[in-house]
A = this chain, B = another copy of it.
Amino acid sequence: MAVNLSAPKPSQLFPIRGVRIGVAEAGIRKAQRKDLTVVLIDEGACVSGVFTQNRFCAAPVQICREHLAMGHGIRAIVINTGNANAGTGEEGLLRARNTCRALADKLKLKAEEVLPFSTGVIMEPLPYERIVAGLPAALADAREDNWLRAAEGIMTTDTVPKAFGKKVMIDGVEVSITGISKGAGMIRPNMATMLGFMATDASVSQTLMKQLACELAEGSFNRITVDGDTSTNDSFVVIASNKAAHSPIESLTTPQGQALKSAMLEVARQLALAIVRDGEGATKLITVQVDGGKTADECRKVAYAIAHSPLVKTAFFASDPNLGRILAAVGYSGIDDLDQTAIDLYLDEVHVARKGGRNPDYREEDGQRVMKQSEIKVRVALGRGACSDTVWTCDLSHEYVSINADYRS
């Protein structure tokens, strides 16, 4: 069902020196399913992360924030599917801590050097004893060239594993970047996505890592939505193993910093778009670009209003150019002084509405032709400034309802 998204080719996922990954079947919710992933990080790496803004954030998210803030350095990551460990109160925090401690003991680390991640059903107790029992198999599986299995190991309602890689030259040194993500529903990241992990062997100063993670998230995961539901577990982690032999990058504005960020952003955006392409029930990828705003923030508001409208999304599913629904969404997006007579609407290159009304030259068959494509760009020109923003979403189909009416059964 995913929109123009095929499984990653192992040859395009580059091993990252200093980062080993192991995957196991721990039977957390269902048997015979890769549901436990560990990431082992050599000493000397820099790690940063951004996390959901949901106030009902999951226990593992709370503990990730705590461990990262301690500044001891991060040496291992443990990820389970089948259970989100969210809405689980004090007991949930305890179980997440116990999971970190169990992995730390096996690796002779401190518990604070481990980051825990969980994804799955909310408000059910985390079966951490199954996770602990699965750790030896995951550790035995640990290798640098295991990214594809990791992408499979973190899937829930995803239909396709999501992983991308890229190489870039920094000061004549070849640097590798590889990332994985998961997510298909409860997707409206507000800092990061359901789960995204990226690693590079580039050398990056620790002080720059938080900024790098934020800027990557802003340009990728923070611009996508499937259903508008911000998850309790959104997490995006960036690892720089510092194994590459170039001088450490101290700023994102130097040529070296720009080269690395731009290559990493390309991977992050592919990972984020893969989530939309694999959005629950998705049959189309919709790019919503809003130009001509007074601020980028108001453009984003308008873009999200369009991207979240069930009426707009069902119209895309039906290939029905019922495009007044887009204008209605622009109208309720929350810009108080919006002048409807300044607004133009385009579907790819088709000029649908001009100055707030139907473009006299618009022919429905042109709209229809674009609506039938699997990838569509909606462009709204607000005519009140020079700022822009873009978000990506998918359509709303029968399959979305089926998936979410059946998810736990």
Contact = CB atoms under 8 A, between A and B. Distances in A.
A275 to B, nearest CB: 15
Interface string A225-241: 00111111000000000
A377 B333 CA distance: 29
A8 interface: no
Copy number in this complex? 2
Contacts of A55: 330-333, 335-336, 338, 340
Which 7 A-B residue pairs are closest in the complex by CB-CB distance? A122-B324, A89-B357, A56-B331, A318-B405, A123-B324, A314-B404, A230-B332
Contacts of A404: 310-311, 314-315, 318
B311 A406 contact: no
A341 B91 CA distance: 12
B123 A329 contact: no
Contact of A357 (B91, B230, B309, B402): B91
Interface string A336-370: 10101101000000000101111000000000000
B92 A401 contact: no
Interface in A170-200: 185-186, 188, 190
A295 to B, nearest CB: 16
A396 interface: yes
A228 B309 contact: yes
A132 to B, nearest CB: 21
A88 B123 CA distance: 48
Most buried by B among A88, A123, A325, A402: A123
A327 B186 contact: no
A53 B357 contact: no
B229 A332 contact: yes
- Dominant SS at the A interface? loop
A127 B148 CA distance: 58
Given A86-B327, A227-B311, A400-B401, 15 more contacts: A54-B328, A55-B331, A55-B340, A56-B327, A56-B332, A89-B357, A122-B325, A228-B309, A228-B310, A229-B310, A230-B332, A311-B404, A320-B405, A320-B409, A396-B401
A89 B355 contact: yes
B401 A327 contact: no
A122 B311 CA distance: 12
A355 B89 CA distance: 7
A89 B322 contact: no
A385 to B, nearest CB: 16
B122 A315 contact: no
10 contacts: A55-B330, A56-B327, A87-B353, A89-B358, A90-B357, A227-B309, A229-B310, A230-B332, A317-B405, A396-B401
